[in-house]
Amino acid sequence: MESKIKGFMDLVKQRNQNEPEFLQAVQEVAETVIPYIASKEIYNGKNILLRMVEPERVLMFRVPWIDDTGEIVVNRGFRIEMNSAIGPYKGGLRFHPSVNLSILKFLAFEQVFKNALTTLPMGGGKGGADFDPKGKSDREIMRFCQSFMSELFRHIGPNTDIPAGDIGVGGREIGYLFGMYKKLRNEFTGVLTGKGMSWGGSLIRPEATGYGTVYFAQSMLETKGDTLKGKTVAVSGSGNVAQYACEKAFQMGAKVVTLSDSSGFIYDEDGIDAEKLAYVMELKNEKRARISEYLTKYPSAKFFKSQRPWSVKCDVAMPCATQNEVSTEEAKTLLKNGCIAISEGANMPSEPGAIEAFQEAKILYAPGKASNAGGVATSGLEMSQNSLRIVWTREEVDERLQRIMSKIHNSCIKYGKQDDGYIDYVRGANIAGFVKVADAMLAQGVV
């Protein structure tokens, strides 16, 4: 089996040189899915995984715009339309200077599995630009979004490809992108999700990824007869996912002691409560400030410059910032400090060595494609509401989100439970996602 996996990976590496994040994501899937394919007559010998690692379409385009000083700036825009076997392409847009083909292809590939897990009819895609929104004025953001959409609009549509937010793309950016799409197409449709409530958005969509990550952590703990109540939780990031993971965690009785951004992390031993979180939201969402400013209002907290929060003693860790933000060493520190569960809010935040360490220690470990699927699931619910031209209540959406997260957890158990009772959530998520997409691909022929 090892030579089969190696042979497959050699081919993928040869075709995708200089794409380390994409190869990392494919390797993790190959290790769990190739043995499964070999054991199933219907999938064997059909090169399905080889077809799945090749995007259906990759778009790269120039995004020229004019900054506030009158300078012409040129960024690079992307959309990866990865797989549409079970529905139109669906996945976020990321605006961050690190964005490149490798990062977006890894995100698009993971998205295919994640979207399949939600049980909703959504294919996988991802896009974005190497644009840094930090320090830009509102008008610069608007001009950039308009230029970006002036090309992207040709390739997307409510039945073709429905982008959403991701790092650097929140409600403000979705508004500018939607406005430009509507102007160019002269139609008001659900082409983007994460929209404002007065123009087609869904209640709970902003909260969904973070809430879902916490619901998933709770489901994992329940398999051990445990709950989040009374647990100490370390969260990284302080953006959309981190904020709402923090909120739901303390609502469920846990104590969240850390948040971070790219400048470092804050440690608040007393726990971050609703009032403190409201201050974080003001800092990050309105003032666009650094997390270190938390200390100006709460001086008893500590700030650790240029560090990540994984040295802190916690029962549960929720990485909610970015890819590869938990190293093997940091994973070992978490384990040494007694951490019993990891629920990933970010995409691929744990390095392969870290995942190995968590699984070897047999703690509860959920990969982002399962635990953070609540965001895209609720985007799917936003699409349904747009199509039906109705608005569900907060309670209705939250209830559906909880049901979906619970179904994802069950799928992971179905395919990931081992003979000794340990649940391998990586294997479970990969195989469950694969089966759904592969069945659709087989039914639709070689296209």
| Nearest CA-CA partner of 65 in 142, 128, 179 | 142
77 binding ligand NAP? (CB under 6 A): no
| Nearest CA-CA partner of 253 in 285, 209, 218, 293 | 218
Q: Site for ligand NAP (CB under 6 A): which residue of 321, 401, 412, 438?
A: 321
237 binding ligand NAP? (CB under 6 A): yes
**Under 8 Å between Cβ of 217 and 189:** no
What's the closest the beta carbon of residue 444 comes to ligand NAP, in angstroms?
27
Q: Is 114 annotated as a binding residue?
A: yes
Q: Site for ligand NAP (CB under 6 A): which residue of 165, 175, 200, 309?
A: 165
Q: Is 98 annotated as a binding residue?
A: no
166 binding ligand NAP? (CB under 6 A): yes
What's the closest the beta carbon of residue 7 comes to ligand NAP, in angstroms?
31
202 binding ligand NAP? (CB under 6 A): no
Name the region of 254 (left: φ>0; alpha: ψ -120 to 50; beta: rest). Answer: beta
CA count, 13 A, side-chain hemisphere, 230: 3
Stretch of 51-59, 235-243, 309-317, 395-403 lying at the interface with ligand NAP (CB under 6 A)? 235-243
Q: How many residues does the chain have?
A: 447
Q: Is 379 annotated as a binding residue?
A: yes
Q: Which of residues 386-445 bind ligand NAP (CB under 6 A)?
A: none
Catalytic residue chosen out of the listed positions 6, 105, 126, 417: 126
CA count, 13 A, side-chain hemisphere, 65: 23
345 binding ligand NAP? (CB under 6 A): yes
Cα 380 from Cα 118, distance rounded (Å): 9
Q: Site for ligand NAP (CB under 6 A): which residue of 240, 258, 350, 411?
A: 240
Task: Residue 303: count other Cβ atoms within 10 Å of its Cβ.
Answer: 17
The 3 state secondary structure assigned to 87-124 is CCEEEEEEECCCCCHHHHHHHHHHHHHHHHHCCCCCCE
**Lookup result for tokens 């996988």:** 124
346 binding ligand NAP? (CB under 6 A): yes
258 binding ligand NAP? (CB under 6 A): no
Letter string b/e over residues 42-74, b meaning 16 or more CB atoms within 10 A of that residue's CB: ebeeeebbebbbebbebbebebebeeeeeeeee
| Closer by beta carbon to ligand NAP, 52 or else 167 | 167
111 binding ligand NAP? (CB under 6 A): no
- The residues pairing with 350 across neighbouring beta strands, listed in sequence order, are 326
232 binding ligand NAP? (CB under 6 A): no
How many residues of this chain bind ligand NAP (CB under 6 A)?
23
Structural tokens at position 47 = 């090169």
167 binding ligand NAP? (CB under 6 A): yes
Q: How far is CA 192 from the centre of its chain?
A: 16
344 binding ligand NAP? (CB under 6 A): no
Q: Site for ligand NAP (CB under 6 A): which residue of 39, 47, 137, 262?
A: 262
Q: Is 410 annotated as a binding residue?
A: no
209 binding ligand NAP? (CB under 6 A): yes
The residue with its CB nearest to ligand NAP is 239
| Closer by beta carbon to ligand NAP, 142 or else 241 | 241
Cα 311 from Cα 299, distance rounded (Å): 21
302 is catalytic: no
Stretch of 17-25, 78-86, 259-267, 298-306 lying at the interface with ligand NAP (CB under 6 A)? 259-267
| Closer by beta carbon to ligand NAP, 170 or else 380 | 170
Cα 211 from Cα 269, distance rounded (Å): 22
Q: Is 284 annotated as a binding residue?
A: no
**Under 8 Å between Cβ of 424 and 26:** no
Kindly state the DSSP code that residue 417 receives in the 8-state scheme. Answer: B
Cα 191 from Cα 382, distance rounded (Å): 11
- The residues pairing with 429 across neighbouring beta strands, listed in sequence order, are none
Q: Site for ligand NAP (CB under 6 A): which residue of 322, 371, 386, 430?
A: 322
Binding positions for NAD(+): 209, 240
Catalytic site residues?
126
For ligand NAP, the binding residues (CB under 6 A) are 165-168, 170, 209, 237-242, 261-263, 320-322, 345-347, 372, 375
Binding positions for substrate: 90, 111, 114, 165, 379
